[in-house]
Structure 1
Amino acid sequence: MDQDLATLGAGRVAAIVVTFQRLPQLTATLERLFATAPEHLAHIVVVDNASADGTGEWLATQDDPRLSVVTLPQNMGGAGGFEAGMRFAVETLDPDWLLVMDDDARPSPGALERFHAVPRGGHEAWAAAVFYPSGNLCEMNRPTRNPFWSPRAFLGALLSGRQGFHVSDTDYASGSASQIDAASFVGLFVSRAAVAKVGYPDPSLFIYADDVLYTLGIRKAGGTIAFDPTMRFEHDCESSQPGRKIYDPVWRAYYHHRNIIFVYRQAAGVLFWPVMLLFLIRWTFLARDYGAKAPAFRTLLRRAIHDGLRGDTSASLGEVKALAQSPSA
């Protein structure tokens, strides 16, 4: 092993990949991970959310000794998958760091080597810079600074909206690490110290905002998170149109709006209710974007607000889909 890596290596890393019905994306991601040297990536854990597209059969043919497969009995969403994978890795493999990613996301060549090239012990988590395969910056994975914890970020949010509290293009170009408050589960290195502080992601969230809530939780527990623009990840989702205002299938809107309420309750503190009032007013106008599915959206939104304000995550996926199929007036 290179002497510098032996001195500065961050420890054993376990990659956690959550997949559901996307075998082509998963194969591309695992090809990249298998090509990473064992001294840079000690373990690879794939959590299969009960896929029925041949994922399980294909995984059974793979012979990389670092690979472990956790097959869930039903689709638990991204949140349930990351909780299961991280818990399995900690309890079974005993790594120093957990590297989490979706099945359509993967480290760029050299990203793991870069992680080990400098000391990482000063922070509980590290976030990579995420780009599309085309080289364009992936906006959905741009890390954030909580505007309610920083007067500067709060002023920036008031003056510039989203750009005011997200990591700036200058931060990406700087080549230097900077502190952040929240990041996505794409290219996020989570330390064992972070797990000791906050445990695992909440599986009942199913999809959306589980990563934001988890990283905000690390910060609230006294941990620090850094963004390192020199570590790059690819997220092969450029065709997913992240700027769209509607969710298709429409039942996904329930999870987005319910979980966003949880985020703002955690992030805004005493300002939660004024902030929430502004969001509720804005959300009432979103149904017009759904066309014939507007009644379903309104039904889902009402339930999302009800459950979000009560902190209720008990609705099953079947219940949520049923609401979308039989909307109320």
Structure 2
Amino acid sequence: MTSRDPIKATQLPAVAVVVTYRRPQLATQVVKGLIEREGFAPENIILVVNGEGGLADVALQERLDVVKLPDNLGPAGGFNAGIRRFVEGFDQEWVYLCEDDVGLFNLPTPRVQQVLDRLERTQLSSSEKWPAAVVAYGRDLNRRTGITTVHDPAGSSGFVPVDVAPWGASLVSRAVFESGATPDDDWFFGYEDFDFWLKVHEAGFPVLLDVEAARSATETAFGSGRDAAFQGVRPDDETEPWRAYYVARNFLELARRHGHIGWTAWHLAKSVRRWQLGSRQARKATVAGLKDGFLRRMGRNDAYVRTVGEISS
């Protein structure tokens, strides 16, 4: 993260949820940043341990509100568990959703209180519900093809609407969850974040991109910059061919829920291209994913799961 001076813990109107799986060092860095840079009190940080892992700093972990899941439920199940704990056990208005590797993406800190302060001065159209959801980096969705592209923050300021986003470091209001828009455990991994944000839109809430964060993270959140940020720290996407299974499978469900047959046609064309360019393992995963996608098989497939979370130094 882009770090400024540490700040003292304050009464932020937010609770942080950090979901982690097999990344104790990275998760520890994220939690320390939330405390030292953002001002979260440890008891207002929900750490969701997705079956295996936790923090490298055991003493720090004991100060947090820990949700230990019995098995790996993926980011979909992990964030859903953290959100349930937030809704049932806390009275703050906002939750800050963090993946355990978000510390690699050069986001400005502190930002939570600043984002909330700026939101108070933001005027939305009368057709939009308020409060909103704010993402750190977003994507625009082509409604004809279902293809998404990174939203370019150039020339913008403040907050701008986007269609979908990675989980990243996102602020979401309690009202969103109370409307029934929550992550779906059945997705496990892959497009589960897009499904959630599209449900947020369907519930009438805007999804806003924090332009300042997007500019800061431009070089590290996507593409080659993302791979460079991961270098020597965690596996990149190319070295995790198991991902191809969920990309192939889950987009078919995304098209059913939020799109149309045109999305499916474009997805099949892209899948053929991925198959042509992929490794032997990725090709196998793509074919298996398409098959299970058409059969509407969801959830975790134990043949395609992460084995290495982070690279030991």
Gap change, CA 1:59 and 1:47, over 3 Å in 2: farther
Residues 82-97 of structure 1: pairs in structure 2 closer than 5 A: 82-97=79-94
Equivalent residue, structure 1, for 2:198: 216
Q: Give yes or no for the alignment of 1:188 onto 2:170.
A: yes
Instruction: Label 1:108 to 1:99 Cα distance change in 2 as closer, same or farther (>3 A).
Output: same
**1:38 Cα deviation from its structure 2 partner:** 4.6
Q: Which residue of 1 aligns with 2:152?
A: 168
Distance in structure 2 (CA, Å) of the matches to 1:105 and 1:291? 27
Q: Is the 8 A contact 1:174 1:229 kept in 2?
A: yes
CA RMSD, 1 decimal: 3.3
1:278 maps to 266
1:289 aligned onto 2:269: no
More displaced 10-residue stretch of structure 1: 274-283 or 74-83: 274-283
| Distance change (3 Å), C-alpha of 1:113 and 1:285 | closer
- Does residue 109 (structure 1) correspond to residue 109 (structure 2)? The answer is yes
* Residues 291 and 187 of structure 1, relative CA distance in 2, 3 Å threshold: closer
TM-score by length of structure 2 reads 0.74
Q: What is the rounded CA distance, in whole Å, between the counterparts of 1:219 and 1:177 in structure 2?
A: 16
Say whether residues 1:313 and 2:301 are aligned partners.
no
Question: Displacement of 1:278 after TM fit?
Answer: 2.9
In the alignment, structure 2 segments of 5+ residues that lack a partner are 1-9, 123-129, 306-313
From 59, 63, 79, the equivalent of 1:61 is 59
The within-5 A match list for 1:71-90 is 71-90=68-87
Indicate if the aligned counterparts of 2:17 and 2:46 stay in contact, CA closer than 8 A: yes
**2:152 is matched by which residue type in structure 1?**
S
Any stretches of 5+ residues in structure 1 without a counterpart?
1-8, 129-141, 149-153, 322-329
8 Å CA contact 1:288–1:294 kept in 2: the answer is no
CA distance in 2, matches of 1:37, 1:225: 22
- The number of residues matched between the two structures is 273
Asked whether the 8 Å contact 2:28–2:57 carries over to 1, the reply is no
The 1:285/1:181 distance shift into structure 2, 3 A limit, reads closer
- Quote the offset at 1:91 in angstroms: 0.7
Among 240, 244, 262, which residue is 1:253 paired with? 244
Name the amino acid aligned to 1:145: D
2:15 match: secondary structure: strand
Among 140, 143, 146, the alignment partner of 1:145 is 140
Q: Secondary structure, in 3 states, of the residue corresponding to 2:88?
A: helix
Q: Distance in 1 between matches of 2:298 and 2:270?
A: 23
Letter in 1 for 2:289: L
Q: Which has the higher helix share?
A: 1
Q: Report the 3-state secondary structure (helix = DSSP H, G, I; strand = E; otherwise coil) of the residue aligned with 1:230.
A: helix
Partner SS for 1:99: strand
State the distance in 1 between where 2:22 and 2:205 align: 35
The higher radius of gyration belongs to: 1
Aligned-residue sequence identity (percent) comes to 22
Following superposition, the deviation at residue 215 of structure 1 comes to: 0.8
The verdict on how the C-alpha distance between 1:10 and 1:177 changes in structure 2, with shifts beyond 3 A counting, is farther
Q: Could you tell me the TM-score, scaled by structure 1's length?
A: 0.71
